[in-house]
Structure 1
Amino acid sequence: MTAPTKAGKRIGILTSGGDCAGLNAVIRAVVHRATGYGWQVLGIKEGTQGLLQRPVQYQTLDLGSVDGHMMRQGGTILGTTNRGDPFAYPMPDGTLKDRSDEIIGGYRELGLDALIGIGGDGSFAILHKLAQKGGFPMVGVPKTIDNDLGKTEVSVGYDTAVAVAVEALDRLQPTAASHHRVMVLEVMGRDAGHIALAAGIAGGADVILIPEIPYSIESIAAKIQDVRNTGRNFALVVVSEAVKTLEGTGVKKVLQGGEKRYGGIGDYIGEKIADATGAETRVTVLGHVQRGSMPSPRDRLIASAFGVHAVDLIAEGKFNRMVAWSNRGVIDVPITEAIEHYSCVELDGALVKTARGLNISFGD
């Protein structure tokens, strides 16, 4: 396959890491803004995997391919991957191989003038390293439902993930009340409790468990008893997937290929609550439901603003930077700072104070 030719800049765009809602809105915004500059956009398929293939796997993106319907779609039209570090790529024989030169070669083969990578901290670390080694310009757009990237108040996908979790609590509440149950909802978030905290407040939870705050079953049981004392016959508990057991270990499941991922702390907490309180307890694990939804209006807005600004950075010759959201506007920061500054829940932050003011228990 021969890369198409056209006057003006040619920029590539790829999505990397786990999927989330709002990715297509970023792609759409990039195409619109780049077209306004008279540039061509090539969408690289399956993240960096597309650059490893020969011929390179890509598609030309123009205004005809990024209509309003696309902005409403979850996931990514380009595909993505969160496996296969190109600097230590797993081969069929079990060995690891440095295939970074192949990816750089794929970039060169497309004749790109710059690359826009939509990803999280892991993806950015790899893309930045590739850009430095290959000497090509790169701009990053932050996306992660975990909202744990540094130097930005919000990342694409987070708002939708919270909305899905809140909707789950809205649906669990009436069935909890009907059966006098304690409902435990396990949500994603990797090592940060942002989703659990925001959803718990907005969804009227009684207990929010996040990895940043140690808990005890006695404190949780006391809170549930306080709820009973008010005359209410049910309780809602939200737990982030990275919360540890009382012994201090994370609960993980082994996936195909031996990969370990968080999952199962909800069942652990549910059993502990049932034993301590005698309450009939049910557990719901949202899992990837939080990733696949139609993006919320805020995610579409953030994604669109990020996409436009990313293209403007290329026009200004400002590279190795990540677009970010701060003080109700779009800024850009060095991508290395975004990678280095992990954003966990601030214990003295506004949302923790709000939750405590609403008499929500953190189990501490």
Structure 2
Amino acid sequence: MLELQENVSLQAFNSFGFDVSARYFVELNSVEQLDMLRQLIDRCGLPVLIIGGGSNLVLTDDLNQLVVLNRISGHAISEVEGGVLCVTAGAGEDWHSLVRWTLEQSCYGLENLSLIPGTVGAAPMQNIGAYGVELKDRMLSLEAYDLNSGETVLFSCEDCQFGYRDSVFKSRYPGRYLITHVTFGLSRTFNPVLHYGGLTGELSARGIESPSALELSDLICEVRNSKLPQPQQIGNAGSFFKNPVIPVDQAEKLKQRFPKLVAFADRSGYSKLAAGWLIDQLGWKGRREGDAGVYDKQALVLVNHGQASGQEILELAGNIQADVFKCFGVMLEIEPRCYP
């Protein structure tokens, strides 16, 4: 039975810790409750916001919406032809816990995505990625419930239209589909991805020549903790800005003006700039505007020092965007979803 609650504080359900409330709130624990949820949606007559770990949200005010907390759990492994291990997990599972569980089961492929906050169901929303691996590289398919039709739909990777921190669920059908399960294609053979983000250098400094999957996961956790604050320590949503992708000729002109510009090859004809470097060059790292601030160890991360509102975080972000555009001619795009 679903319990519909009214005027519920969402402070514990968003990683920034913004104290805003939802007009209606319900916790979904199984697929058997989906049809009942659809009836509640019809009864409330309000827009729906589906949340998992709340680690990619900026809530600027109370929500006149029905907020659905997705807590569908469970995970299982099956082996298919070719030695591929299919790992299926419920959307409400904690992402990092799933990664560590797969390693304990000798299922390899997700280790580079260790310690990314959030839930399994939220991961495809923005095609999470880190250290040279993106979700689309490991996902086989997902199941989602169409809140409009009441049908369960199977999405392939191609159907999800994954892009850089983007998917069809985020850009084309926000609020329409509730992801219930995600299936990954993993392997019993560990093929480490070490070329990104100086992982090889970090391993060498520790005297590790051929890391195990667990050692690689541990290292990535250590590196992330050294650069990024955990929401339990200080409110944040991880990287707040996407790394901008611009034409190669524009990047080359910037390189002439700023020889130390950090840029990487992207799709044909484009370069990806390090947004953190751009922000850092303008002296924003560690700065505060009231309780809204920029993390002192990573300029990409905006933090809530205590009583900042979502609107104050967005105002700080807007000031950073304007400063970066004025200096570099590049407009930074905000990564988290903003409501209402």
After TM superposition, the score normalised by the length of structure 2 is 0.26
Q: Which has the higher strand share?
A: 2
Higher RCO (CA < 8 A, seq sep 6+): 1
Q: As a proportion of its length, which structure holds more helix?
A: 1
